[in-house]
Amino acid sequence: MYFEISETPIDIIERRTRMVQYHAGGYVSFEGWIRDHNHGKEVRSLEYQAYPALAGTEAEKILQEAKDQFAIDDCDVVHRVGHLDVGEIAVWVGVTAAHRGAAFDACEYIIDELKIRVPIWKNEHYLNGKSGWVECHECKKKAIEKGLIHE
Amino acid sequence: MYFEISETPIDIIERRTRMVQYHAGGYVSFEGWIRDHNHGKEVRSLEYQAYPALAGTEAEKILQEAKDQFAIDDCDVVHRVGHLDVGEIAVWVGVTAAHRGAAFDACEYIIDELKIRVPIWKNEHYLNGKSGWVECHECKKKAIEKGLIHE
Amino acid sequence: MTYQLLYFAMFQDWAGKNEEQFSSAAATPAALYEELCKKYSINYPQRQLRVAVNDQFANWEQPLNDGDRIAFIPPVAGG
Amino acid sequence: MTYQLLYFAMFQDWAGKNEEQFSSAAATPAALYEELCKKYSINYPQRQLRVAVNDQFANWEQPLNDGDRIAFIPPVAGG
């Protein structure tokens, strides 16, 4: 069970292989990829920035919650920071479990919570030369629902 | 969108890479691994057997249902047949979507339906030298619920 | 009529083969299955099986044609 | 008291730096944020931020100590 912030491309196969266990029957993974557009604007590349110390403790809390709530064997997360091009992997979540239902639920829980609670931000660079820190409106709404911030 | 029956190990990275699209933001995958035990018996290896013609049409139906029901970009499935050792990948499901919720839902739908409807069977070889065709009781129960077979 | 029977999973063990040409007066999958159960001493209940005719899931009471390819499908266990 | 302020995302643009040592009479994160808003002409509402003290999420009204490391956390956008 680990959270890692990576300044270099995430090696999915290496991460996945580390999780192979002979008593686990199912592996569910999520990858967030950099899309070529966001809210109608054409994206060229972006920067992810993290507050590493706080991101680490908050992400580890989320992983522990997933382990407590779902019957899983293991769960890991890696998030990229720095400059990423379209098509690169921003985040990877891997979960193993004896039974697949728990693995799906835990994987979705982890990425959902990460997007609301873990201090990482993105600055999108658009094809038109402009750039800007992205406000994830869905994340903001959910943070308000959770009482983390207010309307 | 494809279903494939493979007599050789499934190359996850190659399968995944084929799905990379610059407008998809999320990739969810499921892998079913051969466990070292099943219902309390120690498993050494197993054989998967398919009815290829029927498995193909049924799996393609399931993939089309997933595309119709969830806002996904693409979905693929590969199932191994033949002799597999503990730790090998029996099945891989990959789904891409603009938004992750649909990808999780579709991936779980596909593997759930596959396990109920697609004519593939497994013969488990146990450490004690015995072997036997496995009846998946959960799958059978769900097939009964769906009216495909009867109590 | 002569049917091509395909055997999978435990049906291979019971019939001792993967397929065979089978001559029968049975005109439906249900009647054919009953005949097969007698021949090979199979006591798996028909209601827990599905049947495929010419590589498509089929109805137990649908009329069969000479040369049809038929498979009895025990509960699946893929994944 | 002197605080170590860490700036992330748009706060880096507003403050024009990643961090600074900041001397202030403010005794809570809320008071400190008000002071900072004036200094850098920030008009982002405090209620839409979280605050971290010494790398832990903290309360806006908790008393600060000399040397504390403080970060204002705008809505996150990872993943």
A72: in domain? yes
pLDDT of residue A136: 83
| Chain B contact for A16 (CB, 8 A cutoff) | yes
Would you place residue B21 in the very low, low, confident or very high pLDDT band (cuts 50, 70, 90)?
A: confident
B131: in domain? yes
Q: Do A30 and B27 touch (CB under 8 A)?
A: yes
Residue D60: DSSP 8-state: T
Would you place residue B18 in the very low, low, confident or very high pLDDT band (cuts 50, 70, 90)?
A: very high
- 8 Å CB contact between A51 and D73: yes
A14: in domain? yes
B30: in domain? yes
pLDDT tens across the length of chain D (79 residues) = 999 999 999 999 999 999 999 999 999 999 999 999 999 999 999 999 999 999 999 999 999 999 999 999 999 999 9
B150: in domain? no
C contact set with B (CB within 8 A): 6, 8-10, 13, 47-50, 52, 55-57, 71, 73-79
Q: How many domains does chain A have?
A: 1
- CA-closest candidate to residue A72, choices A15, A24, A19: A24
pLDDT of residue A38: 85
By Cβ distance, the residue of A23, A32, A35 closest to B23 is A35
pLDDT tens across the length of chain C (79 residues) = 999 999 999 999 999 999 999 999 999 999 999 999 999 999 999 999 999 999 999 999 999 999 999 999 999 999 9
* Segment holding B59, helix H or strand E: helix B52-69
Which residue of D lies nearest to A110 if distances are taken between CA atoms? D79
- CA-closest candidate to residue B115, choices A108, C70, C75: C75
A151: in domain? no
B151: in domain? no
User: What is the per-residue burial (b if ≥16 Cβ within 10 Å, else e) of C31-55?
Assistant: ebbeebbeeeebeeebebbbbbbeb
pLDDT tens across the length of chain A (151 residues) = 999 999 999 999 999 999 988 888 999 999 999 999 888 889 999 999 999 999 999 999 999 999 999 999 999 999 999 999 999 999 999 999 999 999 999 999 999 999 999 999 999 999 888 988 988 888 899 999 999 999 8
- 8 Å CB contact between A125 and A37: no
Boundaries of domain holding A104: 2-145
Partners of B133 on chain C (C-beta within 8 Å) are 9-10, 13, 74, 77
Q: pLDDT of D3-21, one tens digit each? A: 999 999 999 999 999 999 9
B113: in domain? yes
Extract the runs of DSSP E, i.e. beta strands, from B7-40.
26-33, 37-38
Q: Do A107 and B104 touch (CB under 8 A)?
A: yes
Q: pLDDT of B45-69, one tens digit each? A: 999 999 999 999 999 999 999 999 9
We report the CATH number of the domain holding residue A133 as: 3.90.1170.40
pLDDT of residue B37: 87
- Check residue A87 and give left, alpha or beta (phi > 0: left; psi -120 to 50: alpha): left
| Structural domains of chain D, with CATH | 2-73 (3.10.20.30)
Q: Is D44 exposed, middle or buried (0-12, 13-18, 19+ CB in 10 A)?
A: middle
Q: B30 pairs with which residues across the strands?
A: A28, B93
Q: How far apart are CA B56 and CA B52, in angstroms?
A: 6
pLDDT of residue A42: 92
**Has residue B40 got a pLDDT over 90?**
no
